[in-house]
Amino acid sequence: MNLRRFILIAVPYLWLVALFLVPFLIVVKISFSSAAISMPPYTPTFSLTQGWAGIENFFSQLSVDNFVFLTQDDLYWKAYLSSLQIAAISTVLTLIVAYPMAYGMARAPDEWRPTLLMLVILPFWTSFLIRVYSWMGIISDQGLLNQFLMWLGIIAEPLHIMNTSKAVYLGIVYTYLPFMILPIYAALEKMDDSLGEAAVDLGASRLSSFWLVTVPMSRPGVIAGCFLVFIPAIGEYVIPQLLGGSNTLMIGKVLWTEFFSNADWPLASSVAVVLLLILIIPIMLFQRNQQKNEEAGR
Amino acid sequence: MAQAKPKIVFDPWNDPKAKPLIECRGITKRFGDFTAIDNIDLNIYEREFFALLGPSGCGKTTLMRMLAGFEAPSEGAITIDGQNVADVPPNKRAVNMMFQSYALFPHLSVWENIAFGLKRERASKERIEERVSEMLRLTRLEKFARRKPHQISGGQRQRVALARSLAKAPKLLLLDEPLGALDKKLRQDTQFELMDIQERTGTTFVIVTHDQEEAMTVASRVAVMNNGVIMQVATPADIYEQPNSVYVADFIGDVNILEGNASPGPDGPENAVQIHYAEGEPPVRAVANAPIAQGSRVSYAIRPEKISVGFEPDPDRANHAQGRVIDIAYLGNVSTYRVELPGGKVISATMTNARRLERRAFTWEDEVWLSWTQTAGIVLES
Amino acid sequence: MNKRLSWFNVTSLTLGFAFLYLPMLILIIYSFNASKLVTVWAGFSTRWYVELFHDQPFLDAAWVTLKVAVSSSTLATILGTMAAIVMVRMGRFRGRTLFSGMIYAPLVMPDVITGLSLLLLFIAIGLDRGVFTIMLAHTTFSMCYVSVVVSSRLMTFDHSLEEAALDLGASPFESFRLVTLPIILPAVVSGWLLAFTLSLDDLVIASFTTGPSATTLPMKIFSAVRLGVSPEINALSTLMISVVAIGVISASLISKRAIIRQRREEQEGGRA
C-alpha cells in the first residue's frame, strides 16, 4: 500500500525534477557564468571530481557580468519594453474583437451554442504555425488584401503591414483569440438573463443595463482572458519572426539569436532569467485572480 | 413507535452471556487537534438494528467509517466477531456499507453493480447469477436489471445500493443516512421495507442518521451521540421515556425543561422529591430514580403529551399550574398549547383532538390549568 | 425567454468568424492554384499536392513528427494521469508545494525558456540529440497539460465510488481499474489528444532540443515559410487543416449523439 503510494508519487515527481527543475537550475547557473570559446562555451564548469576546492572555485568564478551587460546595452531593455508593449496592445485589441463575439455567443439560442463553441475551439486544434503563416499571403505588399483594396480603389499605394509591428498585433489577436473568447463566454453564459431584465425593470436603459450589469458580471472572464493572452504573448517567438520581420524587437527573438547565432549561452540564459522575473508578476496576479474566482464560485 | 418483534423478546444486551458481534473498547479518533470520537465503549449484538443518532458533526459517521475500515482509530480496539480488525483493510472485512450518496457505479448496469462484490470474491458464474437474482427479487428490481443508475428513479437507486451491499451476505451492514435523499412519503415506506429486509436476511444493521424519528422507527437500540461522546444507549422506548440527560431528552421529541432546587419528600413513594422551579408556584412533585440530596440543582423534563389542559385543575393529578394560553398549534391529530405561567415561564401541552368537531374548548388568552401526575416527568441531576 | 439574436450580435458573430476562418479558407483555395506565384490565380491544379508527396525530406519530417507525437503523448498521458491522482488524491506529502509548482509552471513558461533549459540539460549530461530528446521534451510539458485536464475531472469525481469498490472487496488497484479509470476515461482521452496536438504543433522547443539527425514538420514548414509564401506549404496546410476539422467535427457529432441517446434513455427511465 505504501510502496504503491510511493511509486505513484515518485515517478512523475522525479520526471519533473529531472526534466523541469534541474534544467531550469542549469539555466540560472549558466546565466552567472562567463562566455568562453570552448565546448561547452562557458566557464566555470561544475565538476565534483575536484572536491570542495572545486566547489569553492566554482562559486568564486560566478559573476553578475551578464546581468550588468543586459542593463548597459540598450538592445536588451528595449527588447523587454517592446515585448511588454506589443503584448499589452495586442491584449487590448484581442479583447475588443473577442468581447462582442463572446457576448453574441452567450446570447445565441441554446441549440446554436455548441456549434459556435466548436467553431471557436476548432482553430486551436489546427497548427499554430499554419495559422500565423496563413496571413503572410494576405498582408504582404502584393498580398490579397492590398490587391483587393486597390481594386476597390480605396488606396492607390499598397499598405505596408507585413514586417511591421501591426502585423505582429494582427498575428497575436488572430492566434490567441480563442483564449480570450472562451473565459468571457463562460462568464457571460453563467449570467442569469433575468439580471438584465431586472435592471431594465428598475428603469435602466438597455445600454446602461449592459454597463451596470453585464460588464461587471463578465469581469472575471475578461481578466482571465487578458492574462491568458498577455502572458504567453510576451515570450512569443514565431509571430514576430514570421510577420514582424527585422524591425520588430521581441525578447523571444533576441534570446533565440543570442543562442543560435551568437552562441553566447551565458547571455541567452540571463536573458531567460530576466524574462522569467518579468513574467512572475502577471503570473502571480493571474493565480490570485483564479483563486478568488474559485472561492467566489463555491 | 413501531416495534416489529412483539412475540419473543429480543434483548441480547440484557443477557450477560451473549457475545457481542462488535466490541468497541476505548475508541478515540483525532484529526489533528480535533477529537472526533472521544473514548467510546460500545457493544452491538448479532441481528440487531442499531442506530447511531446525533446532529451533524457529532462523530457518528466517523465511528461508522472506522467499522468499515476507512478510518483507523487513534486509540482503542474494535473487534468484529472476536477478531481485532485493526490491520484488516476495508476490502478484506466482512462488513459492507451503503453510502449516503449510494455511490452506484455510473458506468455499470444495475445487475453489474450488484454483482460487483461477488465477482471480487471470485464466485462462480452460477453463484453470481443466483445471488444477484435473489437480491433483485428481494428489492423488487427485477425489471431494472439492465438499466444504468442514471436511468432509474431515486427510490430505485436506493434499493440498488441496498441490494449491492447485501449481495455478499455481510455479517454487518452499515447504512450511512440511507434515506436522506428520499422525500418524506417514500422515506416512511422505505423504513418499513428496510426493517423487513433486515429481519428476513438476519443481518446486523448499523444505521447512521440525524433524523430521530427514523432512528426510533427502525432501530432495536439507539445510541445518541454528541461531540464525539455517546450520551445514552437504549431501546427507543427507554430513550424517550427514560432519558439520562437533558441533552437526550431535548434531542428526542419535544420536552419542557424546568430547572430548580430539589428537596426530598414530603410523602409518597421512595425517592419522591419536590422541585422548586419558580417563585410563587407550588413545587413540582416528582419521583427520582435515585435519592436526591437536599437543595441540589436538578432539571425536570416532562413531555407535552403528559400534561393535560383544563379550565379546572385535575384533582387526580399531583401537579398543577395555572397560566394563560399564548399560542395554539393545530396539527390535525393533536393540538399543542403554549401556556405562559405568571412568572413568565412557558410550558407546552399537547391534547389529542379526539372528536371531529369539538366545541372549541380553549382559545388565546384563556386562563387554564395544567395538570400532570407525580410520575409523568423525569428528574435529571444537572 | 427571448433569445432572438439582435442585428448587432449577428454582425459581430459573422465578422468574428469571418476573421477566424477567411485566412484559412484563402490558404486552402490557393493550395489549388496552378501558378507558383501565390498571389496570382492561374487556374485549378493539384500539382502542389503531387509535389508534396514526392518531396522526401518533407515526408521524413512528417514521419519524425508522428513518431514523436504518438510516443510523447502516450507517455505524457500516463505520467500526467499519475500526477493528477497525486495532486487530487494523495493528500499531503513532503514536497507537495514543489510538485504542484512544477505541474503548473510549464504551462506558463515561454517556449524559448523551456527549450533553452532542456537543451542545456541534454548537453550537460551528454545525451545525443534527436528524436529521443524531442520526445522527452514534449512529454515533459504536455504531461502538465494532461494532468490539469485529468485532475479537473478527478476533482468532481465522487470519492465514495472508490470507497464503495474497496468496501465490496476490490483491491486498491482493482478499484482504480474497474471504477476510477472507466469514469475518468473521457478526460484521459482528451488529455492524450491535447498532448498529441501540442507535440504536432511545437516548433520552438523541438528546434532547441533536436540534433542534426531529426527535423520535425513544423521546423521544415518554418524554414520554408521564412522565405515567403510557398504553394507546397499551402497544400500541406490544407491537408493538416482537413484532418483536424474532420476529427473535431466527427468527435463533436459522436458526443452529441451520445448526449441525445442518454437523454432519451433518461426519459424512458423516468417513465418506468
> pLDDT digit string (tens) for B180-212?
878 888 888 888 888 988 988 889 999 999 998
pLDDT of residue A125: 84
Domains identified in chain B and CATH numbers: 12-94+170-250 (3.40.50.300), 254-381 (2.40.50.140)
Distance CA(B91)–CA(A282), nearest Å, equals: 48
Looking at every residue in chain C, the average pLDDT score rounds to: 87
Of C83, C121, C137, the CB nearest to A22: C121
Q: Which of C167, C174, C185 to mutate to test the interface with B (most CBs of B within 10 A)?
A: C167
Does residue A63 register a pLDDT over 80?
no
Residues C197-255 pLDDT 10s:
999 989 999 999 998 888 999 999 999 888 777 888 889 899 988 988 888 888 878 87
Instruction: Choose the closest CB to C13 out of A26, A104, A234.
Output: A104
Chains touching C by CB (3 or more pairs below 8 Å): A, B
**pLDDT of B279:** 79
SS (H, E, C) C22-71: HHHHHHHHHCCECCCCCCCCCCECCHHHHHHHCCHHHHHHHHHHHHHHHH
CA distance C268 to C270: 5
CB contact under 8 A, C262 and B150: yes
State yes or no: pLDDT of A207 exceeds 70.
yes
Which of C167, C179, C182 faces B96 most closely, judged by CB atoms?
C167
Q: Is residue A94 part of a domain?
A: yes
The pLDDT tens digits of the residues spanning A83-92 come to 999 999 999 9
The residue with cell 440498488 is: B160
Closest CA to B174 of B205, B148, B138, B143: B205
Domain count, chain A: 1
More confident residue, B293 or B46: B46
Cα C204 to Cα C117: distance, rounded to the nearest angstrom:
12
C91 at A interface, C-beta within 8 A? no
pLDDT category of residue C272 using cuts at 50, 70 and 90: very low
Residue C86 to chain B, least CA–CA distance (Å): 19
**Amino acid B332: pLDDT:** 82
Model pLDDT for residues B86-145, shown as the tens digit of each residue: 889 899 888 999 999 999 999 999 999 999 999 998 889 999 999 999 999 988 899 999
What's the CATH number where A138 sits? 1.10.3720.10
Domain assignment of residue A105, yes or no:
yes
Q: Is the pLDDT reported for residue B164 higher than 90?
A: yes
**CB proximity C225 to A under 8 Å:** yes
Residue type (1 letter), B240: Y
Is A1 close to C106, i.e. CB distance below 8 A?
Answer: no
Q: What pLDDT is stored for residue C2 in this prediction?
A: 45
Q: What is the pLDDT of residues C122-157, one digit of tens each?
A: 988 888 899 999 999 999 999 999 999 999 999 888
For residue B35, the surrounding DSSP H or E stretch is strand B34-44
3-state secondary structure of B159: helix
Q: Per the CB < 8 Å rule, is A19 touching C136? A: yes
Alpha carbon distances (Å) from A249 to A13, A81, A94, A282: 37, 9, 20, 21
CB atoms within 10 A of CB B311: 10
pLDDT for the residue B248: 93
CB contact under 8 A, B116 and C268: no
In a domain, A166, yes or no: yes
User: In chain A, what residues touch C17 (CB-CB under 8 Å)?
Assistant: 101, 119
**CA gap A256, A250 in Å, rounded:** 10
Domain residue limits at A199: 66-297
- Assess if residue A291 is contained within a domain: yes
Task: Give the pairing of strands B172-176 and B95-98.
Answer: parallel
One-letter amino acid at B309 equals: V
- Secondary structure, 3-state, A66-118: HHHHHHHCHHHHHHHHHHHHHHHHHHHHHHHHHHHHHHHHHHCCCCCHHHHHH
A157 domain residue, yes or no = yes
Taking a contact as any Cβ pair under 8 Å apart, which residues of chain C between 42 and 61 contact chain A? none
Domain assignment of residue A15, yes or no: no
Given B70, B95, B147, which is nearest C163 (Cβ)? B70
* CB spacing of B150 vs C160 below 8 angstroms: no
Give me the mean pLDDT over the B287-307 stretch: 88
- The residue among A93 and B356 whose pLDDT is bigger is A93
Q: Model confidence over B71-103: pLDDT tens digits?
A: 999 999 999 988 999 889 899 888 999 999 999
C269/B contact by beta carbon, under 8 A: yes
* pLDDT over threshold 70, residue B358: no
DSSP letter string, B251-299:
HSS--EEEEEEEEE-SSSSTTEEEEE-STTSPPEEEE-SS---TT-EEE
B252-261, C192-201, C263-272: lowest mean pLDDT where? C263-272
pLDDT bucket at A44, cuts 50 / 70 / 90 = low
Q: Is A161 helix (H, G, I), strand (E, B) or coil?
A: coil
Local confidence band at A55 (pLDDT 50, 70, 90 cut-offs): low
pLDDT exceeds 50 at position C173: yes
- Could you give phi then psi for residue B204, rounded to 5 degrees? -80, 125
The amino acid present at B298, given as its one-letter code, is: V
Expressed in angstroms, the distance from the first to the final Cα of chain B is: 29
Looking at the domain assignment, is residue A39 inside a domain?
Answer: no
Residues of chain C positioned with their CB less than 8 A from the CB of A30 = 120
Q: What is the pLDDT of residues C157-166, one digit of tens each?
A: 888 999 999 9
**Cβ pairs A/C, distance under 8 A:** 230
* pLDDT at residue B116, as a whole number: 94
Q: What is the pTM of this model?
A: 0.82
Of the candidates C158, C182, C272, the beta carbon closest to that of B101 is on C158
- Asked if pLDDT for residue B221 goes beyond 90, the answer is yes
pLDDT tier, A266 (very low <50, low <70, confident <90, very high otherwise): confident
Q: Best mutation site among A11, A14, A126 for testing chain C: the one with the most C CBs within 10 Å?
A: A126
Please report where in the chains the cell 428603469 appears, as a residue: A203
Question: CA–CA separation, B67 vs B208, rounded Å?
Answer: 12
Percent of chain A topping pLDDT 70 = 90
Per-residue pLDDT tens for C91-108? Answer: 788 888 899 889 988 888
Residue B304's pLDDT is what? 93
The answer to whether the CB of B127 falls within 8 A of the CB of B173 is no
B165 → chain C, closest CA residue: C168
Cis upstream peptide for A114 (omega within 30°)? no
Q: Which of A120-124, B353-357, C134-138 has the lowest mean pLDDT?
A: B353-357
User: What is the spatial distance between Cα B198 and Cα B170, in angstroms, rounded to a whole number?
Assistant: 12
Mutate one of C89, C168, C179, C183 to test the B interface: name it (highest B CB count within 10 A): C168
Q: For chain B, where are the alpha helices, taking DSSP H only?
A: 60-68, 110-120, 125-138, 154-166, 184-201, 212-218, 236-241, 246-251
**Residue B85 to residue B83: CA distance in whole angstroms:** 6
| CB-based contacts of B282, cutoff 8 Å, min separation 6 | B319, B320, B321
pLDDT tier at B7, thresholds 50, 70, 90: low
The domains found in chain C, sorted by start residue, are: 56-228 (1.10.3720.10)
Q: What is the mean pLDDT of residues A125-129?
A: 87
Residue A256 domain flag: yes
List the grid coordinates of C175: 478499484
Out of C170, C265, C272, whose CB is closest to B91?
Answer: C170
Q: Has residue C271 got a pLDDT over 50?
A: no
Cα three-residue angle B211-B217-B219, rounded to 5 degrees: 90
Q: What is the pLDDT of residue B4?
A: 55
CA distance B195 to chain C (A): 22
Chain C hits for A8, Cβ within 8 Å: 82, 85-86, 90
| Whether residue B1 has pLDDT greater than 50 | no
| B352/C179 Cα distance (integer angstroms) | 54
Distance from C-alpha of B177 to C-alpha of B100, rounded to nearest angstrom: 5
Taking the C-alpha atoms of residue B105 and residue C176, their distance in angstroms, rounded to an integer, is 12
Q: Where do we find the cell 565538476?
A: A47
φ, ψ of residue B41 to 5 degrees: the values are -115, 135
Handedness of CA A64, A67, A71, A73 (dihedral sign): positive
Give residue C196's pLDDT band: very low, low, confident or very high (50, 70, 90): very high
- Region B226-253: mean pLDDT is 92
Task: Give me the percent of chain C exceeding a pLDDT of 70.
Answer: 94
Could you tell me how many residues make up chain A?
Answer: 298
- The C-alpha cell that represents A117 in the structure block: 463553441
